[in-house]
């Protein structure tokens, strides 16, 4: 039977009918703390530099872009090498329109034998799996949502998937796992180990990119959307063995990354120290906000990212989410009963968030 949302004349794939589109609300709010963006806008100097580069490349928009985005891939390799002491070059880097497109390409290339991830984690992993007809297995975490590595390995070995997804720091919990734990998983499981490090720059743990030369089955996904303050440009990338990158070229659409995107990202990488300069402040704000939430009697999961998942309030998650929005604060109901997630904003936004939350919690009690 077709889902009633869809008209009978629409030959939608059967497997898609029960799904809902990704839909974090995009509504106006005084503080937008729901999609883990970096709250600090680009400097005027960077805006001007991007505009100048784009006006140069615009004269060539009659031509297709560099299909292989070689200059950008080299520059991303240098960025990672600077950060992690590795020695990657362009053949070990792939870049696309956000790490979501990277994830889609991984499923398209490698999804035959299915994929596993550990719930709760990034909701787009299972959604993109289903859209690409990749069988998805929801692996289990502990009841406090931390990851039990030995148990995870058992689940992966049993499922024997082509792709294992580990998100660290994990979204929505914020928990980071150690490089030793990643290595243990890599040593013990079949198939490819995909480490989604969207929030790596916020974390104190060493990046799994340092393991790739020893373990060619490890793929690390990164993005410019979070720490890099560049979500609107849509730039995500992966680091992996060159054979993985060659497989990405099989499944990518020709000329997938526009000249405009490549040009803007190249300039942004020239300004990387400016763009990343907010990271230290966001980390200390994160710890300050976590302490304030605990003072309110809430339980906060330990986070190495730029967001916090908290619980311990009396209302339902949708009720408190709405009450916060009524106070002008947009946070995230990630679909975990009794929990809400807030992104760390500017100091002023965090103050507004804490103030609104105190009021909402006081109302709960009255
Ligand atoms: C935000 C996020 C991404 C997506 O990032 P884009 O590069 O903007 O597509 C990927 N993985 C995780 C875990 C995220 O939280």
Cα-to-centroid distance, 11 and ligand 1 (Å): 30
pLDDT in tens, 60-75: 999 999 999 999 999 9
User: Which ligand 1 atom lies nearest to the CA of residue 235?
Assistant: 7
Contacts of 344 (CB under 8 A, 6+ apart): 33, 39, 282, 285, 286, 289, 306, 307, 308, 350
**Containing domain of residue 342, as a range?**
31-43+277-365
Measured distance CA(41)–CA(346) in Å, rounded: 11
More confident residue, 18 or 310: 310
Residue nearest ligand 1's atom 5 by CA: 99
What is 19-80 written as a DSSP string? -----------SEE-SS---SPPPPHHHHHHHHHHHHHHHTTTTSPP-TT-HHHHHHHHHHH
Is the beta carbon of 167 within 6 A of some atom in ligand 1? yes
Measured distance CA(283)–CA(232) in Å, rounded: 22
User: Which ligand 1 atom lies nearest to the CA of residue 122?
Assistant: 13
Is the beta carbon of 198 within 6 A of some atom in ligand 1? yes
pLDDT classification of 18: cutoffs 50, 70, 90: confident
Q: Which residues pair with 116 in a beta bridge?
A: 137, 164
Is 296 found in the same domain as 270?
no
Cα-to-centroid distance, 131 and ligand 1 (Å): 17
Q: Is position 21 within any domain?
A: no
pLDDT classification of 1: cutoffs 50, 70, 90: very low
Is 330 found in the same domain as 266?
no
Residue for token digits 């992104």? 343
Is 180 found in the same domain as 316?
no
Is 252 found in the same domain as 264?
yes
Pocket test for ligand 1, best of 223, 268, 309 (most atoms within 8 A of CB): 223
pLDDT classification of 26: cutoffs 50, 70, 90: confident
Is the beta carbon of 173 within 6 A of some atom in ligand 1? no
Residue 23 has pLDDT above 90, yes or no: no
Q: Residue 242: its pLDDT value, please?
A: 98
pLDDT, mean of residues 270-275: 94
Residue for token digits 């063995």? 241
CATH number at residue 187: 3.40.640.10
CATH number at residue 288: 3.90.1150.10
pLDDT in tens, 90-108: 999 999 999 999 999 999 9
pLDDT in tens, 279-327: 999 999 999 999 999 999 999 999 999 999 999 999 999 999 999 999 9
Q: Is position 18 within any domain?
A: no
Cα-to-centroid distance, 168 and ligand 1 (Å): 12
| Domain boundary residue, one of 250, 274, 298 | 274
pLDDT in tens, 167-212: 999 999 999 999 999 999 999 999 999 999 999 999 999 999 999 9
Q: Residue 20: its pLDDT value, please?
A: 82
Q: How many CB atoms lie within 10 A of CB 206?
A: 15
Please report, rounded to a whole number, the percentage of residues in the chain having pLDDT higher than 70. 99
Q: Is position 11 within any domain?
A: no
Is 96 found in the same domain as 245?
yes
Residue 110 has pLDDT above 70, yes or no: yes
Is 66 found in the same domain as 214?
yes
- Three-point CA angle 201, 205, 208, nearest 5°: 85
Is 80 found in the same domain as 37?
no
Helix (H, G, I), strand (E, B) or coil at 174: coil
Structure tokens at 43: 């400097």
Q: Is position 266 within any domain?
A: yes
| Domain boundary residue, one of 222, 244, 274 | 274
Is 295 found in the same domain as 246?
no
Residue 3 has pLDDT above 90, yes or no: no
Please, what is the average pLDDT of the chain? 96
Q: Residue 249: its pLDDT value, please?
A: 97
Is 196 found in the same domain as 219?
yes
Is 111 found in the same domain as 36?
no
Q: Is position 322 within any domain?
A: yes
Is the beta carbon of 126 within 6 A of some atom in ligand 1? no
Is 50 found in the same domain as 37?
no
| Domain boundary residue, one of 247, 274, 301 | 274
pLDDT in tens, 331-364: 999 999 999 999 999 999 999 999 999 999 999 8
Residue 25 has pLDDT above 90, yes or no: no
Cα-to-centroid distance, 270 and ligand 1 (Å): 22
Count of domains for the chain: 2
Cα-to-centroid distance, 9 and ligand 1 (Å): 34
Q: Residue 364: its pLDDT value, please?
A: 87
Is the beta carbon of 236 within 6 A of some atom in ligand 1? yes
Q: Is position 14 within any domain?
A: no
pLDDT classification of 22: cutoffs 50, 70, 90: confident
Residue 2 has pLDDT above 70, yes or no: no
User: Which ligand 1 atom lies nearest to the CA of residue 225?
Assistant: 8
Whole-prediction pTM: 0.96
pLDDT, mean of residues 228-256: 97
- Given a contact cutoff of 8 angstroms between Cβ atoms, the answer to whether 76 and 96 are in contact is no
**Exposed/middle/buried for 307, CB within 10 Å: 0-12, 13-18, 19+?**
buried
Pocket test for ligand 1, best of 226, 231, 265 (most atoms within 8 A of CB): 226
Is the beta carbon of 127 within 6 A of some atom in ligand 1? no
Q: Residue 24: its pLDDT value, please?
A: 75
Q: Is position 20 within any domain?
A: no
Is the beta carbon of 317 within 6 A of some atom in ligand 1? no
């Amino acid at each position: 039977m077709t889902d009633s949302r869809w008209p009978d004349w629409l030959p939608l794939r059967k497997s898609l009918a029960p799904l809902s589109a990704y839909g974090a609300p995009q509504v106006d709010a005084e503080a937008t703390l729901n999609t883990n963006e970096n709250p600090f806008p680009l400097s005027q100097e960077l805006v001007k530099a991007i505009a100048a580069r784009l006006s140069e490349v615009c004269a060539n928009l009659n031509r297709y872009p560099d299909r292989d985005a070689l200059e950008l891939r080299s520059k991303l390799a240098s960025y990672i090498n600077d950060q992690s002491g590795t020695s990657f070059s362009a053949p070990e880097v792939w870049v696309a329109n956000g790490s979501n497109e990277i994830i889609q390409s991984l499923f398209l290339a490698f999804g035959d034998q299915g994929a596993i991830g550990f719930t709760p984690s990034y909701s787009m992993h299972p959604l993109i799996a289903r859209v690409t007809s990749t069988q998805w297995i929801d692996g289990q975490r502990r009841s406090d949502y931390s990851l039990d590595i030995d148990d995870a390995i058992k689940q992966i070995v049993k499922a024997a998937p082509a792709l294992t997804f580990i998100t660290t720091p994990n979204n929505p919990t914020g928990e980071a796992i150690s490089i030793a734990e990643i290595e243990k998983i890599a040593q013990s499981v079949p198939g490819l180990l995909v480490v989604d490090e969207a929030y790596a720059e916020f974390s104190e743990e060493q990046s799994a990119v340092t393991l790739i030369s020893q373990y060619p089955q490890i793929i690390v996904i990164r993005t410019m959307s979070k720490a890099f303050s560049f979500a609107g440009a849509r730039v995500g990338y992966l680091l992996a063995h060159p054979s993985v990158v060659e497989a990405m070229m099989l499944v990518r659409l020709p000329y997938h990354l526009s000249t405009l995107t490549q040009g803007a990202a190249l300039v942004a990488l020239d300004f990387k120290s400016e763009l990343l300069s907010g990271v230290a402040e966001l980390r200390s704000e994160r710890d300050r906000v976590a302490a304030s939430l605990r003072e309110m009697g809430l339980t906060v999961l330990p986070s190495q990212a730029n967001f916090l998942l908290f619980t311990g309030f009396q209302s339902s998650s949708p009720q408190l989410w709405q009450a916060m929005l009524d106070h002008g604060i947009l946070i995230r109901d990630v679909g975990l009963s009794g929990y809400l997630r807030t992104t760390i904003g500017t100091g002023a936004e965090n103050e507004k968030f804490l103030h609104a939350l105190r009021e909402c919690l006081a109302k709960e009690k009255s």
